[in-house]
Structure 1
Amino acid sequence: MEYDVVQGDIAAQSADALVNAAGTSLEMGSGVAGALRRGAGEELNEEATAKGPIDLAAVAVTDAYDLDAEYVIHAAAMPHYGDGRATEQSIRDATRNALERADELDCRSLVLPALGCGVAGFDLAVGAEIIDEVIRDYEPDVLEDVRFIAYSDEEYDTVRAATGRTTQSEFAAADEADQ
Protein backbone atom coordinates (compact mmCIF):
# COMPACT_ATOMS: atom_id res chain seq x y z
CA MET A 1 0.00 0.00 0.00
CA GLU A 2 1.33 3.43 -0.94
CA TYR A 3 1.15 5.90 1.91
CA ASP A 4 1.94 9.61 1.63
CA VAL A 5 1.65 12.68 3.80
CA VAL A 6 0.28 15.48 1.60
CA GLN A 7 -0.71 19.10 2.00
CA GLY A 8 -3.89 20.64 0.67
CA ASP A 9 -7.63 21.04 0.94
CA ILE A 10 -9.31 17.67 1.46
CA ALA A 11 -12.33 18.85 -0.52
CA ALA A 12 -10.09 19.33 -3.59
CA GLN A 13 -8.64 15.80 -3.44
CA SER A 14 -9.49 13.06 -5.91
CA ALA A 15 -9.91 9.60 -4.35
CA ASP A 16 -12.42 6.78 -4.06
CA ALA A 17 -13.20 7.95 -0.52
CA LEU A 18 -12.53 11.00 1.62
CA VAL A 19 -12.66 10.78 5.41
CA ASN A 20 -14.54 13.39 7.42
CA ALA A 21 -13.28 14.19 10.92
CA ALA A 22 -16.73 13.80 12.45
CA GLY A 23 -18.36 14.03 15.81
CA THR A 24 -20.84 11.38 16.89
CA SER A 25 -23.84 13.50 15.83
CA LEU A 26 -22.50 13.60 12.24
CA GLU A 27 -23.53 17.26 12.00
CA MET A 28 -21.07 18.94 9.66
CA GLY A 29 -19.85 22.23 11.11
CA SER A 30 -16.38 23.69 10.72
CA GLY A 31 -12.88 22.45 9.94
CA VAL A 32 -12.64 19.35 7.73
CA ALA A 33 -16.40 18.79 7.92
CA GLY A 34 -17.05 22.37 6.82
CA ALA A 35 -14.64 22.07 3.89
CA LEU A 36 -16.27 18.84 2.73
CA ARG A 37 -19.73 20.32 3.17
CA ARG A 38 -18.85 23.38 1.10
CA GLY A 39 -17.29 21.21 -1.62
CA ALA A 40 -20.04 18.60 -1.75
CA GLY A 41 -23.12 20.71 -1.25
CA GLU A 42 -25.77 20.73 1.45
CA GLU A 43 -26.98 17.23 0.49
CA LEU A 44 -23.88 15.79 2.15
CA ASN A 45 -24.76 17.34 5.49
CA GLU A 46 -28.40 16.25 5.17
CA GLU A 47 -27.46 12.63 4.46
CA ALA A 48 -24.80 12.55 7.18
CA THR A 49 -27.07 14.07 9.82
CA ALA A 50 -29.82 11.57 8.94
CA LYS A 51 -27.39 8.71 9.68
CA GLY A 52 -26.41 10.07 13.09
CA PRO A 53 -25.84 9.81 15.86
CA ILE A 54 -23.27 7.02 15.81
CA ASP A 55 -21.04 5.57 18.51
CA LEU A 56 -17.68 7.12 19.32
CA ALA A 57 -15.02 5.76 16.91
CA ALA A 58 -17.69 4.32 14.58
CA VAL A 59 -18.00 5.31 10.93
CA ALA A 60 -20.88 6.09 8.59
CA VAL A 61 -20.75 6.32 4.81
CA THR A 62 -22.46 8.82 2.54
CA ASP A 63 -22.34 9.75 -1.11
CA ALA A 64 -19.67 12.35 -1.94
CA TYR A 65 -22.04 14.46 -4.09
CA ASP A 66 -20.01 17.23 -5.82
CA LEU A 67 -16.63 16.08 -4.44
CA ASP A 68 -14.21 14.15 -6.68
CA ALA A 69 -14.84 10.93 -4.77
CA GLU A 70 -17.43 8.21 -4.59
CA TYR A 71 -17.84 8.18 -0.81
CA VAL A 72 -17.33 10.24 2.31
CA ILE A 73 -16.50 8.09 5.32
CA HIS A 74 -17.50 9.97 8.47
CA ALA A 75 -15.19 8.81 11.29
CA ALA A 76 -16.39 9.89 14.74
CA ALA A 77 -13.16 10.47 16.65
CA MET A 78 -14.88 12.94 18.99
CA PRO A 79 -18.17 12.99 20.88
CA HIS A 80 -20.71 15.72 20.28
CA TYR A 81 -21.62 16.07 23.93
CA GLY A 82 -19.86 17.28 27.06
CA ASP A 83 -16.47 18.75 26.20
CA GLY A 84 -16.28 17.05 22.78
CA ARG A 85 -12.66 15.99 23.23
CA ALA A 86 -11.04 13.19 21.27
CA THR A 87 -8.89 10.59 23.02
CA GLU A 88 -5.98 8.46 21.92
CA GLN A 89 -8.29 5.45 21.77
CA SER A 90 -11.05 7.21 19.82
CA ILE A 91 -8.51 8.44 17.25
CA ARG A 92 -6.91 4.99 16.95
CA ASP A 93 -10.25 3.19 16.58
CA ALA A 94 -11.83 5.76 14.23
CA THR A 95 -8.77 5.61 11.95
CA ARG A 96 -8.79 1.81 11.85
CA ASN A 97 -12.55 1.75 11.25
CA ALA A 98 -12.21 4.22 8.36
CA LEU A 99 -9.50 2.10 6.72
CA GLU A 100 -11.57 -1.07 7.16
CA ARG A 101 -14.70 0.55 5.75
CA ALA A 102 -12.76 1.80 2.71
CA ASP A 103 -11.63 -1.78 2.09
CA GLU A 104 -15.18 -3.09 2.52
CA LEU A 105 -16.34 -0.55 -0.10
CA ASP A 106 -13.61 -1.76 -2.51
CA CYS A 107 -11.91 1.64 -2.44
CA ARG A 108 -8.43 1.71 -3.90
CA SER A 109 -7.66 5.26 -2.69
CA LEU A 110 -8.43 7.11 0.52
CA VAL A 111 -7.62 10.57 1.88
CA LEU A 112 -7.87 11.14 5.61
CA PRO A 113 -7.16 14.12 7.87
CA ALA A 114 -5.80 14.24 11.41
CA LEU A 115 -8.90 12.84 13.10
CA GLY A 116 -9.67 14.40 16.47
CA CYS A 117 -6.93 17.02 16.20
CA GLY A 118 -8.95 20.06 15.15
CA VAL A 119 -11.92 21.31 17.13
CA ALA A 120 -11.73 18.15 19.28
CA GLY A 121 -8.58 19.56 20.81
CA PHE A 122 -6.22 16.58 20.64
CA ASP A 123 -2.54 17.49 20.15
CA LEU A 124 -1.74 17.33 16.43
CA ALA A 125 1.75 15.83 16.77
CA VAL A 126 0.56 13.08 19.11
CA GLY A 127 -2.54 12.45 17.01
CA ALA A 128 -0.44 12.22 13.84
CA GLU A 129 1.78 9.61 15.51
CA ILE A 130 -1.28 7.54 16.42
CA ILE A 131 -2.78 7.79 12.93
CA ASP A 132 0.59 7.00 11.35
CA GLU A 133 0.94 3.88 13.50
CA VAL A 134 -2.55 2.65 12.59
CA ILE A 135 -1.93 3.20 8.87
CA ARG A 136 1.45 1.43 8.98
CA ASP A 137 -0.01 -1.53 10.88
CA TYR A 138 -3.05 -1.85 8.60
CA GLU A 139 -3.05 -4.77 6.16
CA PRO A 140 -5.40 -3.83 3.30
CA ASP A 141 -7.43 -6.13 1.11
CA VAL A 142 -8.12 -3.64 -1.70
CA LEU A 143 -6.80 -0.27 -0.54
CA GLU A 144 -3.69 0.74 -2.48
CA ASP A 145 -3.24 4.47 -1.86
CA VAL A 146 -3.66 6.27 1.46
CA ARG A 147 -2.99 9.99 1.78
CA PHE A 148 -2.75 11.58 5.22
CA ILE A 149 -3.62 15.21 4.51
CA ALA A 150 -2.81 18.41 6.38
CA TYR A 151 -4.20 21.79 5.35
CA SER A 152 -1.77 24.53 6.39
CA ASP A 153 2.02 24.72 6.11
CA GLU A 154 2.30 24.49 9.90
CA GLU A 155 0.01 21.44 10.11
CA TYR A 156 1.87 19.75 7.25
CA ASP A 157 5.24 20.34 8.91
CA THR A 158 3.91 18.99 12.22
CA VAL A 159 2.44 15.85 10.61
CA ARG A 160 5.61 15.17 8.60
CA ALA A 161 7.78 15.59 11.69
CA ALA A 162 5.48 13.39 13.80
CA THR A 163 5.36 10.59 11.24
CA GLY A 164 9.05 10.81 10.44
CA ARG A 165 8.50 9.54 6.90
CA THR A 166 6.24 10.36 4.01
CA THR A 167 5.86 7.22 1.90
CA GLN A 168 5.24 3.54 2.41
CA SER A 169 8.46 2.72 0.54
CA GLU A 170 10.35 4.68 3.19
CA PHE A 171 8.62 2.55 5.85
CA ALA A 172 9.78 -0.63 4.13
CA ALA A 173 13.35 0.67 3.80
CA ALA A 174 13.41 1.77 7.46
CA ASP A 175 11.94 -1.53 8.62
CA GLU A 176 14.58 -3.47 6.67
CA ALA A 177 17.34 -1.28 8.11
CA ASP A 178 16.05 -1.94 11.64
CA GLN A 179 16.30 -5.71 11.19
Structure 2
Amino acid sequence: MEFSVVLGDLAEQSADALIYDAKTDLEMERDIARTLSREAGEAIVEDVASEGPVELGQVVVTDAYELDADYVIHAAAIPSHGQGEPSTASIRAATKNALRRADTLDCDSCAMSVLGVDTATQDFRDGAQDICETIREYDPSRLERCDVVVSSESQYEYVARTSESIRSA
Protein backbone atom coordinates (compact mmCIF):
# COMPACT_ATOMS: atom_id res chain seq x y z
CA MET A 1 0.00 0.00 0.00
CA GLU A 2 1.25 3.44 -0.87
CA PHE A 3 1.55 5.85 2.02
CA SER A 4 2.69 9.41 2.18
CA VAL A 5 2.92 12.29 4.61
CA VAL A 6 0.73 15.36 4.16
CA LEU A 7 1.07 18.71 5.90
CA GLY A 8 -2.38 20.03 6.67
CA ASP A 9 -5.63 19.58 8.53
CA LEU A 10 -7.27 16.15 8.61
CA ALA A 11 -10.72 17.73 8.23
CA GLU A 12 -9.65 19.23 4.91
CA GLN A 13 -8.43 15.97 3.35
CA SER A 14 -10.20 14.14 0.56
CA ALA A 15 -10.23 10.35 1.05
CA ASP A 16 -12.71 7.53 1.33
CA ALA A 17 -12.10 7.39 5.10
CA LEU A 18 -10.68 9.85 7.61
CA ILE A 19 -9.12 8.23 10.70
CA TYR A 20 -8.36 10.04 13.93
CA ASP A 21 -7.40 9.09 17.48
CA ALA A 22 -10.48 8.94 19.65
CA LYS A 23 -10.67 8.44 23.37
CA THR A 24 -12.40 5.27 24.54
CA ASP A 25 -15.43 7.29 25.69
CA LEU A 26 -15.76 8.53 22.06
CA GLU A 27 -16.42 12.11 23.14
CA MET A 28 -15.23 14.41 20.38
CA GLU A 29 -13.53 16.92 22.71
CA ARG A 30 -9.88 16.84 21.64
CA ASP A 31 -8.33 19.13 18.99
CA ILE A 32 -8.67 16.96 15.88
CA ALA A 33 -12.04 15.59 16.98
CA ARG A 34 -13.39 19.10 17.58
CA THR A 35 -12.26 20.20 14.14
CA LEU A 36 -13.83 17.14 12.50
CA SER A 37 -17.12 17.67 14.35
CA ARG A 38 -17.18 21.38 13.51
CA GLU A 39 -16.67 20.63 9.79
CA ALA A 40 -18.89 17.53 9.62
CA GLY A 41 -21.75 18.86 11.72
CA GLU A 42 -23.31 17.97 15.06
CA ALA A 43 -24.79 14.69 13.77
CA ILE A 44 -21.36 13.02 13.80
CA VAL A 45 -21.00 13.77 17.52
CA GLU A 46 -24.37 12.19 18.25
CA ASP A 47 -23.65 9.15 16.05
CA VAL A 48 -20.32 8.29 17.64
CA ALA A 49 -21.52 9.01 21.18
CA SER A 50 -24.27 6.42 20.75
CA GLU A 51 -21.59 3.76 20.12
CA GLY A 52 -19.44 4.37 23.19
CA PRO A 53 -17.67 3.64 25.30
CA VAL A 54 -15.40 1.12 23.56
CA GLU A 55 -12.28 -0.82 24.48
CA LEU A 56 -8.83 0.54 23.75
CA GLY A 57 -7.84 -0.32 20.16
CA GLN A 58 -11.41 -0.67 18.88
CA VAL A 59 -12.83 1.48 16.11
CA VAL A 60 -16.25 2.95 15.38
CA VAL A 61 -17.38 4.11 11.93
CA THR A 62 -19.72 6.99 11.22
CA ASP A 63 -20.82 8.84 8.15
CA ALA A 64 -18.51 11.74 7.28
CA TYR A 65 -21.44 14.11 6.71
CA GLU A 66 -20.06 17.42 5.37
CA LEU A 67 -16.43 16.24 5.17
CA ASP A 68 -14.89 15.24 1.82
CA ALA A 69 -14.97 11.53 2.72
CA ASP A 70 -17.46 8.70 2.94
CA TYR A 71 -16.59 7.65 6.47
CA VAL A 72 -14.91 8.79 9.65
CA ILE A 73 -13.19 6.02 11.57
CA HIS A 74 -12.91 6.86 15.26
CA ALA A 75 -9.90 4.80 16.42
CA ALA A 76 -9.78 4.44 20.20
CA ALA A 77 -6.06 4.88 20.76
CA ILE A 78 -6.38 6.93 23.96
CA PRO A 79 -7.93 5.80 27.24
CA SER A 80 -10.57 8.12 28.66
CA HIS A 81 -9.52 10.40 31.51
CA GLY A 82 -8.34 8.45 34.53
CA GLN A 83 -8.19 5.11 32.72
CA GLY A 84 -4.50 4.97 31.84
CA GLU A 85 -2.30 6.34 29.10
CA PRO A 86 -1.85 5.61 25.39
CA SER A 87 0.86 3.06 24.62
CA THR A 88 2.64 1.52 21.69
CA ALA A 89 0.21 -1.40 21.93
CA SER A 90 -2.91 0.81 21.91
CA ILE A 91 -1.62 2.94 19.03
CA ARG A 92 -0.68 -0.09 16.94
CA ALA A 93 -3.98 -1.87 17.68
CA ALA A 94 -6.05 1.21 16.83
CA THR A 95 -4.06 1.78 13.63
CA LYS A 96 -4.36 -1.82 12.47
CA ASN A 97 -8.06 -2.03 13.31
CA ALA A 98 -8.74 1.27 11.54
CA LEU A 99 -6.94 0.10 8.38
CA ARG A 100 -8.74 -3.24 8.53
CA ARG A 101 -12.10 -1.47 8.91
CA ALA A 102 -11.36 0.85 5.96
CA ASP A 103 -10.60 -2.27 3.92
CA THR A 104 -13.89 -3.94 4.86
CA LEU A 105 -15.71 -0.75 3.86
CA ASP A 106 -14.12 -1.11 0.38
CA CYS A 107 -12.17 2.11 0.76
CA ASP A 108 -9.40 2.80 -1.74
CA SER A 109 -7.90 5.62 0.31
CA CYS A 110 -7.66 6.91 3.84
CA ALA A 111 -6.10 9.85 5.62
CA MET A 112 -5.13 9.56 9.28
CA SER A 113 -3.67 11.65 12.03
CA VAL A 114 -0.76 10.33 14.08
CA LEU A 115 -2.82 8.32 16.54
CA GLY A 116 -2.45 8.58 20.29
CA VAL A 117 0.03 11.41 20.55
CA ASP A 118 -2.13 14.42 21.34
CA THR A 119 -1.43 13.87 25.04
CA ALA A 120 1.28 14.93 27.42
CA THR A 121 2.45 11.36 27.98
CA GLN A 122 2.93 9.91 24.50
CA ASP A 123 5.87 11.21 22.50
CA PHE A 124 5.03 12.28 18.94
CA ARG A 125 8.12 10.54 17.53
CA ASP A 126 7.23 7.22 19.16
CA GLY A 127 3.62 7.43 17.93
CA ALA A 128 4.74 8.34 14.41
CA GLN A 129 7.11 5.37 14.37
CA ASP A 130 4.30 3.09 15.60
CA ILE A 131 1.78 4.09 12.95
CA CYS A 132 4.30 4.15 10.10
CA GLU A 133 5.46 0.64 10.97
CA THR A 134 1.88 -0.58 11.31
CA ILE A 135 0.89 0.91 7.95
CA ARG A 136 3.96 -0.65 6.32
CA GLU A 137 3.17 -4.08 7.83
CA TYR A 138 -0.51 -4.00 6.90
CA ASP A 139 -1.48 -6.23 3.96
CA PRO A 140 -4.61 -4.65 2.44
CA SER A 141 -7.22 -6.36 0.37
CA ARG A 142 -8.62 -3.16 -1.14
CA LEU A 143 -6.95 -0.13 0.44
CA GLU A 144 -4.41 1.38 -1.96
CA ARG A 145 -3.30 4.61 -0.28
CA CYS A 146 -2.95 6.00 3.22
CA ASP A 147 -1.93 9.60 3.90
CA VAL A 148 -0.53 10.43 7.32
CA VAL A 149 -1.63 13.99 8.05
CA VAL A 150 0.46 16.19 10.33
CA SER A 151 -0.05 19.80 11.36
CA SER A 152 3.43 21.33 11.54
CA GLU A 153 6.54 21.50 9.41
CA SER A 154 8.68 19.82 12.08
CA GLN A 155 6.18 16.93 12.35
CA TYR A 156 6.14 16.65 8.56
CA GLU A 157 9.93 16.42 8.37
CA TYR A 158 10.11 13.82 11.12
CA VAL A 159 7.31 11.59 9.78
CA ALA A 160 8.65 11.85 6.22
CA ARG A 161 12.12 10.71 7.38
CA THR A 162 10.63 7.96 9.54
CA SER A 163 8.35 6.63 6.81
CA GLU A 164 11.19 6.65 4.28
CA SER A 165 13.45 4.78 6.67
CA ILE A 166 10.74 2.17 7.32
CA ARG A 167 9.94 1.74 3.63
CA SER A 168 13.58 1.23 2.71
CA ALA A 169 14.24 -1.27 5.52
Question: What TM bracket, shorter-length normalisation?
Answer: over 0.9
Kindly report which structure 2 residues correspond to 1:62-101, keeping only aligned pairs within 5 A, or say none.
62-82=62-82, 84-101=84-101
Q: Which residue of 1 is the match for residue 114 of structure 2?
A: 114
Deviation at 1:83, TM superposition (A): 5.7
Q: 1:151/1:84 Cα in 2 relative to 1: closer, same or farther (>3 Å)? A: farther
Q: Structure 1 CA distance, aligned partners of 2:104 and 2:94?
A: 15
Q: Structure 1 CA distance, aligned partners of 2:67 and 2:125?
A: 28
Contact between 1:18 and 1:112, CA under 8 Å: does it hold in 2? Answer: yes
**Deviations for 1:128-156, whole angstroms, at most 9, x for unmatched residues?**
11111100000000001100110122222
Contact between 1:78 and 1:120, CA under 8 Å: does it hold in 2? Answer: no
Cα-Cα RMSD: 1.6
Question: Which is worse superposed, 115-124 or 70-79?
Answer: 115-124
Contact between 1:112 and 1:148, CA under 8 Å: does it hold in 2? Answer: yes
Contact between 1:85 and 1:116, CA under 8 Å: does it hold in 2? Answer: no
Letter in 2 for 1:109: S
Letter in 2 for 1:41: G
TM-score (norm 2): 0.94
Contact between 1:124 and 1:159, CA under 8 Å: does it hold in 2? Answer: no
Deviation at 1:34, TM superposition (A): 1.2
* SS of alignment partner, residue 51 of structure 1: coil
Letter in 2 for 1:88: T
The structure that has the greater radius of gyration is: 1
Q: 1:55/1:28 Cα in 2 relative to 1: closer, same or farther (>3 Å)? A: same
Q: Which residue of 1 is the match for residue 57 of structure 2?
A: 57
**Deviations for 1:92-143, whole angstroms, at most 9, x for unmatched residues?**
1000000000001000000011100013631011111111110000000000
Q: Structure 2 CA distance, aligned partners of 1:11 and 1:35?
A: 7
Letter in 1 for 2:155: E
Runs of 4+ that moved beyond 3 A: none
Q: Structure 2 CA distance, aligned partners of 1:41 and 1:155?
A: 28
Unaligned runs of 5+ in 1: none
Q: Structure 2 CA distance, aligned partners of 1:143 and 1:163?
A: 18
Letter in 2 for 1:154: S
Contact between 1:61 and 1:72, CA under 8 Å: does it hold in 2? Answer: yes
Q: Which residue of 1 is the match for residue 10 of structure 2?
A: 10
Deviation at 1:45, TM superposition (A): 0.8
Q: Structure 2 CA distance, aligned partners of 1:27 and 1:62?
A: 13
TM-score (norm 1): 0.89
